[in-house]
Structure 1
Amino acid sequence: MSPARLRALCAGIVIALAMAGAPRSAWAQGGLDAQRQAELEGVGIEEHLGKTIPMDATFTDSTGKTVRLGDYFNQGKPVIVNFVYYECPMLCTLSLNGTSDVLKQLEFTPGDQFNLVTISFNHKEDAELAAGKKASYIKELGKPEAADGWHFLVGDEQNIRKATEATGFMFKWVPEQEQYAHGAALFVMTPDGRFSQTLKGIAYDAKTLRLALVEASGGKIGSVSEQLLMYCFSYDPDTGRYGPAAIKIMRLGGAMTVVVLALTILAYRLNEKRRLRKSNRNHAQPDAA
């Protein structure tokens, strides 16, 4: 991470930690005045796991083409969705930087194992702005091939609200600040458009994101060991990471115990049969003269 980006990250970390889904009480405890609390009323990220993104929501991509959200789903691969606005002075830049940073660490590539859809929630932004932002981050990522899988969209207010409300991404315009109050997160979705995991914040752990994609894919991507790992681990929204799933581990341990016991019994029976056959052959042989 460059020094400039590190300084920007440090400058925005307090805002990001609070905005990325922290309860309103946390803001109050932080000493924010009544006006600021009012500005942040109704802002945050709700968990909508299992619900479906509106496939018919219409947007414009960075080339000026009209697209539907459904165009990026049902391709047999998971999809990451995130919401920013391209002229955001602070948090969105940090969030996009965090996304770019984790993609550099990820062995998966947008467009190959998954799709990534970045949507502006500012209805006044246009495709030209989206194109500039896409070009900047594809260059920053250093993977030109990712351009086919990382999509930057803009849209009208109605379709933006349709997508953000379904996602649980709550934001609002603050006239006094002349900017939006909002949170930051990556929404990991199944190939058919259901919400699988929500990774909140502006910095994302590569291992956590990879496992989230493996889980959302239903085992269609990732190694055999990762798919086995997914059986024994589950996502903890409180820590933002995957941890041991006690019940699943006990089930797996119980199943392995049964298998070992069955193999032991089978080996015993086979040995017993061999012993009996050998004994019968010895009894059947005539005594030497």
Structure 2
Amino acid sequence: MYSAPVHAQLTEQASLAYEGVGLTPRLGEQIPLDLVFTDSYGKTVTLGEYFQQDRPIVLTFVYHTCPMLCSVLLDGVTRSLDDVPWAPGDGYEMVTVSFSPEDTSERAAEQRARYLRRLDYEDAEWHFLTGSEDAILALTQATGFMFKWVEEQGEYAHPAAVIVLSDEGIITRYLPDLVPKGRDLRAAIVEASDGTVGNLLDRAFLYCFQFDPTSNSYVLVARRAMQVGGGITALVLIVSLGLLWMKDTKKSEYA
């Protein structure tokens, strides 16, 4: 057992290790699309190439030698996709960027293959990118993703989050959970698409639910839900009266 002074020193060291690490949401801001990265095939690409398909982008940051947190995040995202009725490439795309300039495209390819096997989508549009320190810092700073190398521990201290962007590269939502709810990920994709992805029920959900940064989830807005409920009731009443009117009219014609 540590003595009080030693325990205090260790606590202070741990605190210093995570100083400056975290997530600063930059909702509504544009990310730089001219940044150059390398994809999992070793091809040089610009970030903007993934924003030319009129699809929202689901963005995650990891590094491929991470001892735990990054795998937990990607595992969680993969499980969340079980509750999303569209595969990556079907209305949206996924981009995972390594924030370690030491990571290689070969290692990124291994990770990509691993998670595509879990999704059972061999050709899914889930892109794993590596890049230079300059490109990485430009993108992480633009998205408010703050990390640092901790020499004493031999690893990066970093947050974990899913960041959703519009097809123009505008940040529309942060889901700062290791295992985001599938319902929330689905709603965030629909929200980023401005209604071009999903159906009427998805749009009704977004009208009745709003994202609550305190709970990191979409929560029911009672007033809007009552409005929708009232509208549905009125619609049912109008349709019922219309059917009765048509039935009565036919009776009059044959009377």
Residue 160 of structure 1 pairs with residue 160 of structure 2: no
C-alpha deviations, 1:223-261, integer Å up to 9, x for none?
11111221121111111221123554566678889999x
Residue 224 of structure 1 pairs with residue 200 of structure 2: yes
Q: Which residue of 2 aligns with 1:141?
A: 119
* Alpha-carbon distance between aligned partners in 2 of 1:109 and 1:32, rounded to the nearest angstrom: 45
Q: Which residue of 2 aligns with 1:191?
A: 167
* Alpha-carbon distance between aligned partners in 2 of 1:41 and 1:233, rounded to the nearest angstrom: 34
**How many residues are matched?**
236
Equivalent residue for 1:124, pick from 99, 102, 120: 102
Residue 75 of structure 1 pairs with residue 53 of structure 2: yes
Q: Which residue of 2 aligns with 1:26?
A: none
Letter in 2 for 1:161: L
Q: Which residue of 2 aligns with 1:179?
A: 155
C-alpha deviations, 1:246-283, integer Å up to 9, x for none?
554566678889999xx8xxx9xxxxxxxxxxxxxxxx
Residue 43 of structure 1 pairs with residue 17 of structure 2: no
3-state DSSP of counterpart to 2:156: strand
TM-score of the two chains, using structure 2 as the length reference: 0.84
Does the CA contact (< 8 Å) of 1:43 and 1:182 recur in 2? Answer: yes
Does the CA contact (< 8 Å) of 1:183 and 1:201 recur in 2? Answer: no
Structure 1 residue runs of 4+, over 6 Å off?
253-260
The alpha-carbon deviation at position 104 of structure 1 amounts to 2.8
The alpha-carbon deviation at position 161 of structure 1 amounts to 0.3
The alpha-carbon deviation at position 119 of structure 1 amounts to 0.2
The gaps in structure 1 that reach 5 residues or longer are: 1-30, 268-289
3-state DSSP of counterpart to 2:163: strand
Does the CA contact (< 8 Å) of 1:189 and 1:196 recur in 2? Answer: yes
Q: Which residue of 1 aligns with 2:69?
A: 91
Residue 101 of structure 1 pairs with residue 85 of structure 2: no
The structure with more radius of gyration: 1
3-state DSSP of counterpart to 1:128: helix
* Alpha-carbon distance between aligned partners in 1 of 2:120 and 2:146, rounded to the nearest angstrom: 32
* Alpha-carbon distance between aligned partners in 2 of 1:153 and 1:124, rounded to the nearest angstrom: 12
Provide the aligned C-alpha RMSD in A. 2.6
The gaps in structure 2 that reach 5 residues or longer are: 1-8, 243-255
C-alpha deviations, 1:94-146, integer Å up to 9, x for none?
11111111123321110112110000000011111111111111112212131
Fraction of identical pairs, as percent: 43
Does the CA contact (< 8 Å) of 2:177 and 2:216 recur in 1? Answer: no
Does the CA contact (< 8 Å) of 1:49 and 1:197 recur in 2? Answer: yes
